[in-house]
Amino acid sequence: MSPQFNYIEIEDILASAQAKGEPPFILILDGLEDPRNFGAILRTADAAGVHGVIIPKSRSVSLNETVEKTSTGAAIIVPVARVPNLTQAIEKLKEENIWITGVEVDGRKLYSKIDYSKTGIALVLGSEGKGMSRLVKEHCDNLVYIPMKGQMTSLNVSVSAAILMYEVVRQRSSI
């Protein structure tokens, strides 16, 4: 029997963080296409204590059996909000004093030089091939990068997500 996938509202994600007495910790996935990447991100999101994930309704992978299988069940555990417009969702989060940090190859700051410990944070990761859309990028408060020492210019999106999520965990663990 296939699992039932239910989407929630952004307000539910914020309420979950508030109920735990924690600053919101959210992922925004802009145009992710590969269900295996989505599943891997959800598995890590659960392990890192992410309160929820926001995805767009169009031009993006949605919850499905491949995502669930790759996530080893985290697709049913981690709250996912599906929104018609990511930039409007970002603006809604900003109204709640949540800082928006996008991860880009050409980001302006090293990812570990941002203070994620004291305020709500939403990490934005773009699609596997194109990165973040221009509009989403323009709505970010910070654009960070992960240093690359080899010949490749970027990491797999699920690996980048894991690095960033665990930087948030590392910083918040020392509060």
pLDDT at 56: 97
First to last CA, the chain: 43
Taken as a whole, the chain contains a residue count of: 175
Pairing of strands 142-145, 98-103: parallel
Q: Going by DSSP bridges, is the β-strand pair 80-83/109-110 parallel, antiparallel, or unpaired?
A: unpaired
The stretch 135-164 carries a mean pLDDT of 95
Which one has a higher pLDDT value, 161 or 118?
161
pLDDT at residue 128 in the model: 85
Q: What pLDDT, on the 0 to 100 scale, is given for residue 3?
A: 61
**Average pLDDT over the chain, rounded to an integer:** 94
Q: What is the pLDDT of residue 91?
A: 98
Q: Are 99 and 119 in contact (CB under 8 A)?
A: yes
pLDDT of residue 2: 52
Query: How much is the pTM?
Result: 0.94
Residue 121 is predicted with a pLDDT of 97
46: left (phi over 0), alpha (psi -120 to 50) or beta: alpha
CATH H-level, domain 10-173: superfamily:
SPOUT methyltransferase, trefoil knot domain (3.40.1280.10)
pLDDT tens string 2-17? 566 889 999 999 999 9
Going from N- to C-terminal start, the domains of the chain cover 10-173
Mean pLDDT computed over 143-152: 95
- In tens, the pLDDT along 21-53 reads 999 999 999 999 999 999 999 999 999 999 999
